[in-house]
Structure 1
Amino acid sequence: MTNRLRHEPSPYLQQHADNPVDWYPWGEEALTRAREEDKPILLSIGYSACHWCHVMAHESFEDPASAEVMNRHFINIKVDREERPDLDRIYQLAFQVLNQRGGGWPLTVFLTPDQTPFFAGTYFPRQERHGLPAFTDLLERIAGIYRERQGDIHAQNAELRQVLESVRPQGDPGATLTAAPLDAARSALEKEYDGRHGGFGEAPKFPHPTHIERLLRHYRHTAETGRPDDRARAMALDSLRAMADGGLFDQVGGGFFRYSVDAHWTIPHFEKMLYDNGLLLGLYADAFTLTGDEDFRRVAAATGEWLLGEMQAPEGGFYASLDADSDGGEGAFYTWMPAEVEAVLSEGERAVAAPVWGLESGPNFEGRWHLRVTRPLADVAAALGVDEAEARARLERARTTLAAARNQRPRPGRDDKVLTAWNGLAIRGLAVAGARLDRSDFVDAAAGAVDFLRDNVLTDGRLAAVFAGGEAREAGYLDDYAYLLEGVLNLLAVRWRDADLALARQLGDALLEHFQDTLDGGFFFTADDHEALITRPKTSLDESTPAGAGVAARSLLRLGHLVAEPRYLEAAEAAVKGAGRSIEEIPHGHGSLLDALEEILYPPQLVILRGAEPAMAPWHRRALVDYAPRRQTAAIPEHAADLPEALAARQARGPVTAWVCRGHECHAPTDDYGAFEQALAD
């Protein structure tokens, strides 16, 4: 038996195409049937790499008895949250309101035919356990409530809709911006910091890249003022080291898993997501630039190489995720038995790898070993009586050998759809790492992804959110425009291409025309011509990815300074002011908007180079080698065309001419390298 999901290109929906459940994709066909038959909707939201989504599917959606109850009482709709983040955002918020706690996936929501939720949960087992009802028992009870308590449902739905409309960023368009939220965020992050294990909060432990970036930027700003906040620096760098040494990082294949199930970063949830790795790639490259620590360089390089080797499609775009599970169960692809390691490594390689990666201690995951750094390489080298360089060479050979052996195993499933927003994060990370590590292959990959998106998901200045099954799907969301704009701007800083500047301006214009809240400031998550839903989401908080509103604001600031366009600058400032009270309440939850606030209060340094590309190369490299998060660089070759007036007016007076500005104040243009270096330092 197959259902309507058979015709959907989403790999996640395809996983459910053979269920006995009469699934519909979200759309007018299902919604119309619910209205005509006055049946409640069972909305199930998940994603391909979600372990508990797979568990619920195996237990209930593949079970004919469970499916019979679902089909008898409900119109069943299955949604891929990565294709429809608008629906996920709305119904996760509804879950929080109805249950007074955070939700998750799989998300199981029961709606009236007008799409309003009246009951929401997450995972439900086939049989009653752990305080959760059996799924079929729950279905029967919900169906009975829908038949017998229409008045109560109607009253609750009216109240819920009011709450959903009210849960939006709060601010004051006339407020005066100050640095107080920057200091408040830094203090709040220290309170949440885990001084023993690094990172923030308790288990399950997430990477929180926006927290780490905020601390690094805070340190850099205080260092510029002569009062370096070394504690902020240490919290950020120690968190990065702890994650890289732990099981969150794939010690063999590179790249980061989704999160750690424990507080000490030992055992991850084994799915790998494009967005985590795009964000962390740039952070580790920044940490290397700030410190010169080769461990940060190695982690950044391994993460970028994993992206190129495992996640990039031949056409240039990047795939969405790898599953946690493979044929042997969760984590089976990544974990080891000591005998498996001994069978493929030489004695010298084992002598280093076993103590470094914890193979000499007991198993840590279901009777197997998940590798993480348990002893510093320098200590192991000293114990073996070899120099550290030799120990490093042995460890790298062991890594290569284990990767080859591991690749013979059944591989985790890969969700091969291309998501515009997540590709924007990968483009940014690759561009930053390409500049920091001098990796032209990373920059090439970023440029290839931009070209793929321009050719496949951009039509008349509007983006699609997804490319899957050979077609672009779903109208683009705020994150698609904001993340891609930031990725393109970071790529422009490393490698100038006229078409990329044109794309950046298209994206900036679309943000203002279709997403900006011109009344209260900020940006809606959906465009002004998007499908009508029960509410139009508008948020400002960072989550597992930075808030689209914050990324839009900081990117529009950069674009506005680059092309001298006041509209972009004004929209960015309005976004920060429009969330001002929300920022005051949870300052550390608004890292991306705080980046924008920082650049409003302390305008970025704009470095414009003009001249022949070979002559500009050392100047360009010099501008990129510092950890200077408020520096924006553009090395524009003499043959560049279609430049806005602010850039076209700057013509080289010799082989290279440099302009270094901060806000509206500029040094005199110079063709002297020494004067250029001095201007960078000011």
Structure 2
Amino acid sequence: MTAGRWPGCGATRLLVRIVGFYGFLLLTLSLGAPALAATAASGHARDAPRYTNRLIHSADPYLLLHAHNPVDWYPWGPEAIEKARREHKPIFVSIGYSTCYWCHVAERTLYSDPDIAKLMNRWFINIKVDREQRPDLDQIYMLATEILTSHGGWPNNVFLTPDLKPFFAGSYFPPTDDSFGRPGFPSVLRMVHEQWTDHRKEVLAKANRVYQIMQQVGVPGASAPAPVRPLAWVQQARRAFETRFDWKYGGLPNGPAQAKFARAPILELWLADARVTRNQKALGMLRGTLDAMALGGIHDALGGGFHRYSTERTWSVPHFEKMLYDNAQLLDVYTRAFQLTGDPLYRAMALDIGGYLQRDMSAPGGGFYTAQDAEVHGVEGSSYVWTRSQIDAALGKTAAKRFFTVYELTPMPDPTREQQLNGLVPGVLRVRLPLAKTLKDAGYPAVMPMLTALRPERDKLFAIRERRAQPFTDRKIVVALNGLAITAYAHAAGVLREPVYLQLASRAATRIWDIAYSPKTRSLKHEIFDGRAHTDAFLDDYALLGNGFLSLYEATHQARWRTHAQTMADIILERFLRPDGGLATVPTEKDLLIPPEDTGDNTYPSGTSATVALLQGLSASSTGNPRYAEAAAKIIRHVSGQVAKDPGQWGSLVAFLALHPQTRAETVAENAPAPQKAPSKGFHVPDSADHVHASATAGITAGQDEITVTLRIDPGYHVNANPASFDYLVPTAVRFDGLTPSRVVYPNPVRITPAFATEGLNVYEGTAHITSVFPAGTLKPAGTVHGDVRVQACNEQVCLPPATLPLTVPAARAN
């Protein structure tokens, strides 16, 4: 099943390349209703509920939102389907999710209206679906909507025959006919009812044509295996992206009025490309996008984390919902970008996201919530936006003037006339563009010192903002998405030296294992809500959670995590792997019109890509079981034909294959393609390890044990002291496997004043000694201790990427 295939509430995605003639044909055979555009509607306060329907018994926030509609809603299941077949009624299935803005508008303006509900109840069997609870249904019927209308988004409203074949679809329908001639929802209901009653033969014929196209598009036949050439795929994808990349504002696409999404799998691919091939265009696309997002309005400059997408080209005005899957992946991407480049902005962004998820999206017992809404009281973004006068009042005129040399307010679209006349148009905070002029006007040589200087003002504004009404949080814990978060936190814990991140990852993994996994049935559930697990898990739940377990094993070396990862992998091989190497994406295909298939990595890694990573990771972790590597190779061969056609659509998979030389060598040899040109062995990207050299000795005294690490720093270079002078700098830090010192004595720093930090920095130069003190008896005389020291080397002009220098401490000797 393709993960998050159609991003964005109300977003569009054309199927021209896939559907082609079929889409045109069906449009000409449509029932006569034009594409219906969404129109905004404001919410209102509710009285005590007058109605209660069967959704009150559901265990899902989005379904519960509709439990007091006068609509006779059913959850998806045999009861509703059998009733439709028994009564020969069409099915109206409405698919959305709890933090979708237009889904809320539809709930208020359509499904809460008793007159509209009467029509729905009289003529249709009405089913409400949460796309996050049933991603399989979401994928199937979004494909239908794209075939029928050439666009898609949420809410996704589809009319089905009793045998589940779609014949009419749309997104948000306004409650009444509008002045542009677009029919309101009551008119749509009457039209569909009349067509079903008076022209059923034509409707059924159309439904069959849609079904046939869905089979051709949604269930692609087995492609002939292609040579598995990850580096060639990386190059092929890069060339395709270069033509679509926005070289002025970063990201994809480059159109002037098109929405922009983070698209983490593509960022992941550019990261791998830059790391493995050292290609400067790949690095440019990566950095151009990460920088633009970090400084734009899509980033919550006050509360941290990233919004769902930008509504325009410059990343300034977002759609305000926040999703776990975006932020978990961006935590990992910014962490890895910091590893690659040493850019302190990326470290700051990773910490920013990690802090946001910990504060606002962490469940008390462990695990991470799914999303936060875009609206409050029916007004999108109202908790996030500001006016200039509000900031002046909060900070004072002088501080506000300084603040606005760096930040600006991008006006929200469609302000009221009163707001315009009074100069009170709300806006979204972002760093001013162009950046070079902002740095010059503010008097800073680089971005991070400038942002750090304004942290007190941002903290003050955030404290004020927290007193406003806050967006709704969807508190279900989706297993696949938590797998993404566990992986990101486990990795970031070591890179960023944040032990609490490892605790967050471990608590989430433990809770999911304890509640969502059943040892008795050897099966996993898809989500946890109100302390109970629900819905059988999908392929991506097993695979992404398995990768989370494996990341915890790599971070802690605790065997239980590897054992849990093996359990997930074993179940996948037993229940999802097909003889030809393909993977089923659902635990059962009962009551599904077509079997959902993975067709790429879209919003996050597909179950197929995550499975390959899990199996190869287990194969490399000394399990001694060759079947994992063999199964991974089989899956890769099966999907290779699809990947070769469009490697950019499989960003996560191609990135993984490119980053793992053993996988590259095995698959290339097996498929016998032409040899790939390797990077020159003489090519080397400098990093801190080139200029900092570490050694260590151990000593045992009567009162304590000690390990002394000696750093020898090349002339002209220095490393940051511990603590570092600024929170965006990487401090020098030591660590030892399995040992926690009672204290670490760092040397007295040298104070320097380089051109890029005129306020001065504390550093170490020349030779520096770091002593870690342990309780007496900790170090065994015959034992060897392993550890590392984290450093970042800089000179007067440049800071190199940080390096982790390994330490092997010989057996301790008594002094």
Task: With the length of structure 1 as denominator, give the TM-score of the two structures.
Answer: 0.85
Rate the CA distance shift 1:190–1:377 in 2: closer, same or farther, 3 A: closer
2:250 alignment partner in structure 1: 198
Q: Does residue 503 of structure 2 align to residue 444 of structure 1?
A: yes
SS at match of 1:430: helix
2:652 alignment partner in structure 1: 592
Aligned partner of 2:84 among 15, 23, 34: 34
Rate the CA distance shift 1:673–1:405 in 2: closer, same or farther, 3 A: closer
- Residue type at the aligned position of 1:211: I
Aligned partner of 2:548 among 456, 465, 487: 487
Rate the CA distance shift 1:169–1:220 in 2: closer, same or farther, 3 A: farther
SS at match of 2:158: strand
Q: CA deviation at 1:505?
A: 0.4
Distance in 1 between the 2:401 and 2:440 partners?
12
2:276 alignment partner in structure 1: 221
Rate the CA distance shift 1:34–1:515 in 2: closer, same or farther, 3 A: same
- Residue type at the aligned position of 1:559: L
2:233 alignment partner in structure 1: 181
Counterpart contact for 1:349–1:397, Cα < 8 Å: no
Distance in 2 between the 1:105 and 1:293 partners?
37
Counterpart contact for 1:421–1:465, Cα < 8 Å: yes
Q: CA deviation at 1:553?
A: 1.2
2:561 alignment partner in structure 1: 500
Question: Which range is displaced more, 403-412 or 147-156?
Answer: 147-156
- Residue type at the aligned position of 1:446: A
2:196 alignment partner in structure 1: 146
Q: Does residue 176 of structure 2 align to residue 116 of structure 1?
A: no
Rate the CA distance shift 1:273–1:616 in 2: closer, same or farther, 3 A: farther
1:621 alignment partner in structure 2: none
Gaps of 5+ in 1: 223-227, 606-613, 619-634, 639-652, 659-671, 677-682
Distance in 2 between the 1:292 and 1:492 partners?
26
Cα deviations by residue, 1:300-332 (Å, 9 ceiling, x for unpaired): 111100000000010001111110001261000
Cα deviations by residue, 1:408-446 (Å, 9 ceiling, x for unpaired): 001111111111111111111212222221111111101
Counterpart contact for 2:226–2:641, Cα < 8 Å: no
Distance in 2 between the 1:655 and 1:379 partners?
54
Rate the CA distance shift 1:542–1:615 in 2: closer, same or farther, 3 A: farther
SS at match of 2:236: helix
Q: Does residue 268 of structure 2 align to residue 210 of structure 1?
A: no
Distance in 2 between the 1:72 and 1:324 partners?
33
1:557 alignment partner in structure 2: 616
Matches within 5 A, 1:177-326: 177-179=228-230, 180-201=232-253, 202=255, 203-222=258-277, 228-326=278-376
Distance in 2 between the 1:131 and 1:231 partners?
48
Q: CA deviation at 1:372?
A: 0.5
**Highest Rg: 1 or 2?**
2
Cα deviations by residue, 1:650-682 (Å, 9 ceiling, x for unpaired): xxx952579xxxxxxxxxxxxx96799xxxxxx
1:370 alignment partner in structure 2: 428
Q: CA deviation at 1:212?
A: 1.2
Cα deviations by residue, 1:435-493 (Å, 9 ceiling, x for unpaired): 22111111110111001100111112311111113321100011111111122222222
2:584 alignment partner in structure 1: 524
Q: Does residue 630 of structure 2 align to residue 570 of structure 1?
A: yes
Question: Which range is displaced more, 568-577 or 41-50?
Answer: 568-577
2:643 alignment partner in structure 1: 583
Question: Which range is displaced more, 128-137 or 63-72?
Answer: 128-137
Aligned partner of 1:126 among 159, 172, 175: 175
Q: CA deviation at 1:32?
A: 1.7
Counterpart contact for 2:331–2:488, Cα < 8 Å: yes
Q: CA deviation at 1:402?
A: 0.8
2:597 alignment partner in structure 1: 538
Rate the CA distance shift 1:581–1:674 in 2: closer, same or farther, 3 A: same
2:55 alignment partner in structure 1: 5
1:165 alignment partner in structure 2: 215
1:514 alignment partner in structure 2: 575
Rate the CA distance shift 1:252–1:673 in 2: closer, same or farther, 3 A: closer
- Name the Cα RMSD after superposition: 2.9
1:423 alignment partner in structure 2: 482
Rate the CA distance shift 1:362–1:326 in 2: closer, same or farther, 3 A: closer
SS at match of 1:126: coil
Rate the CA distance shift 1:30–1:328 in 2: closer, same or farther, 3 A: closer
Rate the CA distance shift 1:335–1:122 in 2: closer, same or farther, 3 A: same
Rate the CA distance shift 1:234–1:162 in 2: closer, same or farther, 3 A: same
Task: With the length of structure 2 as denominator, give the TM-score of the two structures.
Answer: 0.71
SS at match of 1:93: helix
Cα deviations by residue, 1:160-179 (Å, 9 ceiling, x for unpaired): 43433343355557543224
2:393 alignment partner in structure 1: 343
Distance in 2 between the 1:185 and 1:169 partners?
21
Distance in 1 between the 2:654 and 2:511 partners?
31
Distance in 1 between the 2:311 and 2:109 partners?
23
1:21 alignment partner in structure 2: 71
Gaps of 5+ in 2: 1-50, 416-424, 666-704, 710-735, 740-781, 788-804, 810-815
Q: CA deviation at 1:600?
A: 6.6
Distance in 2 between the 1:109 and 1:654 partners?
68
Q: CA deviation at 1:277?
A: 0.3
SS at match of 1:371: strand
Counterpart contact for 1:45–1:80, Cα < 8 Å: yes
Cα deviations by residue, 1:589-646 (Å, 9 ceiling, x for unpaired): 11122134435764489xxxxxxxx99999xxxxxxxxxxxxxxxx9969xxxxxxxx
SS at match of 2:233: helix
Rate the CA distance shift 1:191–1:174 in 2: closer, same or farther, 3 A: closer
2:119 alignment partner in structure 1: 69
Distance in 2 between the 1:506 and 1:110 partners?
40
2:796 alignment partner in structure 1: none
Q: Does residue 784 of structure 2 align to residue 655 of structure 1?
A: yes
Distance in 1 between the 2:707 and 2:654 partners?
33
Distance in 2 between the 1:30 and 1:470 partners?
27
Counterpart contact for 1:356–1:374, Cα < 8 Å: yes
Counterpart contact for 1:169–1:539, Cα < 8 Å: no
Rate the CA distance shift 1:329–1:588 in 2: closer, same or farther, 3 A: same
- Residue type at the aligned position of 1:586: D
Cα deviations by residue, 1:232-290 (Å, 9 ceiling, x for unpaired): 11110110000111111000000000000001101000000110000111101111111
Cα deviations by residue, 1:544-578 (Å, 9 ceiling, x for unpaired): 22222111112211112212332222222222222
Distance in 1 between the 2:214 and 2:535 partners?
23
SS at match of 1:454: helix
2:129 alignment partner in structure 1: 79
Matches within 5 A, 1:50-61: 50-61=100-111
2:527 alignment partner in structure 1: 466
Counterpart contact for 2:225–2:638, Cα < 8 Å: no
- Residue type at the aligned position of 1:583: V
